Amino acid sequence: MSKTALITGASSGIGLELAKIFAANNINLVLVARSENKLKALSAELHAKHNIGVTVLAFDLSDYNNAQKVFDACTAAYIQIDYLVNNAGFGDFGLFHESDWHKQEQMINLNITTLTYLTRLFIPGMIAQRAGKIVNVASTASFQPGPTMSVYYATKAYVLSFSEAISNELEPYGITVTALCPGATESDFQNKADMHESRLVKGRKLPTSAAVAAYGYAAMMKGQVVAIHGFMNQIMAESIRFTPRFLVRKIVRFIQDKK
């Protein structure tokens, strides 16, 4: 029996590349994002190339109430989700006290609340099947506070902690949970976060979304709980534990600041 993966934020970046990988492995897809036109174009491409079933759900997941609508649409179509990929998310660059509150609220809703809600909705079906895999896209930002991107870093710390906790809870049911932690990646993220002048990205050759997606897919299939993309990112994430907190804050501020 063919399996199905639901991917949020599937219209671009890591989500789009993951959709291509699932399709190449003959896994049917439910693609979720705001842009219906982009999703329909991707759906047509993947169906024609791999002859898989693709369902398009155009919802703005920064409104966490739409998580229930996504679940209801899958239920109405009798679609069992075997792989849940909570990829949708965005960041914002700048000092918190100068930030736009509505954008911060949407970020918290999307990066935390919707991700958590979708996970809660789809887990019972996986438990009933005694199988399933969940990927929550966190970040190397998960491991430390992030001056100039304070709310984004905090949301990703939540994703990592939440993912690790439920991976333990769901292990007896044959369900794995992977927190995928990429570093700065070549995608539309920098445009949405308005951080082109940051030392973190300016003048740097960043890993591609395709490379991160391939790494994340392999980690998910192995049932890896925390998957940090890139050797140097792994070293830095581990070194945080042995570095004084005041120094971590200063280092991250320096890296994040404008060049």
Q: In CATH, what number is assigned to the domain containing residue 19?
A: 3.40.50.720
How far out from the chain centre does Cα 107 lie?
A: 13
CB-based burial label for 99 (10 Å; 0-12, 13-18, 19+)? middle
pLDDT score for 199? 47
Distance, CA of 154 to CA of 151 (rounded, Å)? 5
Distance, CA of 17 to CA of 114 (rounded, Å)? 21
Q: Which of 44-48, 116-120, 127-131, 252-256 has the lowest mean pLDDT?
A: 252-256
Catalytic residue, candidates 156, 158, 215, 217: 156
Mean pLDDT of the chain: 91
Q: Regarding predicted confidence, which is higher, 231 or 142?
A: 142
Of 49, 67, 47, 51, the closest CA to residue 59 belongs to 67
Domain count, the chain: 1
How much is the pTM?
Answer: 0.89
pLDDT score for 248? 74
156 part of the active site: yes
Containing domain of residue 20, as a range? 4-256
Catalytic residue, candidates 117, 152, 153, 158: 152
